[in-house]
Amino acid sequence: MKPKADNGPGCIEAGILENALVMIAVLGKNGKVLAWNHAAETITGYARDDVVGNTGVWKKMYPEKQYRNNVTRRIAGILAEKNFFEGLETTITTRTGGKKTILWNTKETQTQSGPVVVAVGQDITQLRELDAFRTSVAENANVLIAVLGKKGEVLLWNRAAEEITGYSREEAAGPGDIWKRLYPDPEYRKKITGQITGIIAENEFFENLETTITTKGGDTRIISWNTRQISGEDGGHSIAIGRDITEQKKAEEALIAYMSEMAMRIRQPVGIIRDNLKDIARLTRDKKVSGDEIAMLLDAQIRNATQVEANVQEFQKAVLEKNREIPDAYRKFLGG
Amino acid sequence: MPKIVSPDELAKKEIFLVLATPATIRQRNIDLIKEISGLGYHTIVITTNFPYAILSKLYAEQGIDPAKVSFIDTVTRNSLGSAENIPGVVRFINNPANLTDMGIAVTEVLKEHSGQKVCILYDSISTMLIYLSSPNISKFIHFVTNKLRLMDISGIFLAVEKGLDPMLMTQLTTFVDSVIDTG
């Protein structure tokens, strides 16, 4: 936009418009471009001299007829109600064929030669790409991610959250408290709420808090929660990340159960055999048992020992089955 | 020596889990038989550790009337290959893991002594754990305790203290009326 000394914007205004970091186009009747600033040239790739004085740039920036008609309809719809629009987002095609997302704001203003529209376009391509990236990360994460408002209302509910809980994002964000559905037992809910309130009062976040949720299908899942406060438009948002540790917990419990079973069936029996042998030795020394009886007593202990050995082998086999990474040499040894 | 089980509770046909250290469990077996016999009960000993021939000898040494004790022996046949049952005295089972045979033996021995003051002494849960998983033991003890309650008979299960995992211990505790830790 070249500053003019007479009947145009003043030098200062012209300078501001020219050097603004947003694209500015002044449009006359039927969208004819009257002014096209440097940022507009940079963003679109179309030079001022090619654009000013005609309407052809719009066709170039929206080359796809269907999309162009769609944008035109949206603009016409807005302008039917008011003579400006705010926050209209469109995707333009640049001179080199690239795509950019522009956030448009317009304002009608009067000049000596009649009404003109000042259109301000902000290039938000990177912002949208970042948003898309964030959304994609949240969507594709294999952990439950929920962004919560001040009152715990759900603002974001990712795909993993839907899969784990069974509740769709519409159900989670819709009317009715999702947390009441996830914690249907009032007493348990009260306990959890108390825990969370206590932790938040101290730290404003919590880490690895384990709770048991009830899914839409009625199953229970154990979730390990981590939260952080994040800034929102009105502040006070928090992000809750929940890891489904149900299977891990089951595996841990199974391991503990298995280990204690083995302790009962290996460690303790060795002690029993030892004490039995002590008794047999004592009875033998005291000559309270005959040779046949000693043999019988020892036979019983041999049988016990044989069974303990079988139990150890069973344990080793179970370890081998659970741990595929054990090297072959050890696998062979443990497999007996 | 103070009584291990209360005569009143025994009279009420209660069921006990008696815990003892590995070093004292054999003596607890003898102490219990002495006590129970002294109260006029006939004791049926289910032995999984020492053969009936040895146990009866040890009991006799301690002044226990052999007529007041009979056995279900899971040890002898395994050693000798064969052993004939002696009605009213002993029934032999091939293997302590054979719970079906043991269940049948318990039922039949209890029938033999129906009408008498009878108490069953199971020696021991700890030895059974060599041969059976804890869920199977739990099921078997449940079966036996149910049978005892139906037949209105008292019973004692011996186990090595600290030898049962918390889950099995909890289950056994629900099957019996009291747990007595003799230390």
pLDDT for the residue A1 = 45
Task: Give yes or no for residue A194 having a pLDDT over 50.
Answer: yes
Task: Give yes or no for residue B1 having a pLDDT over 60.
Answer: no
B130/A293 CB distance under 8 A: no
Whether B34 is in a domain gets the answer: yes
Higher pLDDT, A251 or B36: B36
Q: How far is CA B12 from CA B123, B155, B178, in A?
A: 22, 11, 12
Q: Which residue of A has its CA nearest to B50?
A: A297
Candidates B79, B128, B133, B137, partner chain A, best to mutate (most A CBs within 10 A): B79
How confident is the model over A18-40, as a mean pLDDT?
A: 88
CATH number (domain holding residue B87): 3.40.50.300
Whether B176 is in a domain gets the answer: yes
Bridging pattern class, strands B154-160 and A33-36:
unpaired
How confident is the model over B17-25, as a mean pLDDT?
A: 89
Tokens of A166: 């069974």
pLDDT for the residue A185 = 95
Per-residue pLDDT tens over the stretch A83-115: 788 889 999 999 999 999 999 999 888 888 888
Percentage of the residues of chain A whose pLDDT score is greater than 90: 46
Query: Within an 8 Å CB–CB cutoff, is residue A261 touching chain B?
Result: yes
- Per-residue pLDDT band for A3 (boundaries 50, 70, 90) equals very low
Bridging pattern class, strands A114-123 and B154-160:
unpaired
Contact A164, A223 (CB under 8 A): yes
How confident is the model over B162-170, as a mean pLDDT?
A: 86
Chain B positions touching A295 (Cβ under 8 A) are 79
Whether B148 is in a domain gets the answer: yes
A293/B54 CB distance under 8 A: yes
Task: Give yes or no for residue A9 having a pLDDT over 60.
Answer: no
Q: How far is CA A239 from the centre of its chain?
A: 9
ipTM: 0.87
User: Model pTM?
Assistant: 0.60
How confident is the model over A6-20, as a mean pLDDT?
A: 65
Q: How far is CA B41 from CA A151, B56, B86, B146, in A?
A: 70, 16, 20, 20
How confident is the model over A243-248, as a mean pLDDT?
A: 92
Number of domains in chain B: 1
Query: Phi first, then psi: what are they for A91, rounded to 5°?
Result: -110, 120
Q: Which residue of A has its CA nearest to B135?
A: A261
Q: How far is CA B130 from the centre of its chain?
A: 17
pLDDT for the residue A336 = 61
Task: Give yes or no for residue A234 having a pLDDT over 70.
Answer: no
B26/A271 CB distance under 8 A: no
pLDDT for the residue A334 = 64
Alpha-carbon distance of A56 to A68, in angstroms, equals: 13
Residues 6+ apart with CB under 8 A from A115: A108, A109
Contact B78, B95 (CB under 8 A): yes
A268/B160 CB distance under 8 A: yes
Mean pLDDT of chain A: 86
pLDDT for the residue A5 = 43
Q: Is B75 exposed, middle or buried (0-12, 13-18, 19+ CB in 10 A)?
A: buried
Whether B1 is in a domain gets the answer: no
A268/B61 CB distance under 8 A: no
Which amino acid, B66? P
Closest CA to B50 of B41, B63, B59: B59
A311/B130 CB distance under 8 A: yes
Per-residue pLDDT tens over the stretch B74-127: 999 887 778 899 988 999 999 888 889 988 998 889 888 888 899 999 998 999
Point out the residue among A264, A268, A300 whose CB comes nearest to the CB of B78: A300
Whether B93 is in a domain gets the answer: yes
Task: Give yes or no for residue A177 having a pLDDT over 60.
Answer: yes
pLDDT for the residue A124 = 94
Point out the residue among A269, A275, A297 whose CB comes nearest to the CB of B130: A269
Whether B61 is in a domain gets the answer: yes
Whether B144 is in a domain gets the answer: yes
Whether B2 is in a domain gets the answer: no
Residue B176's domain comprises 7-181
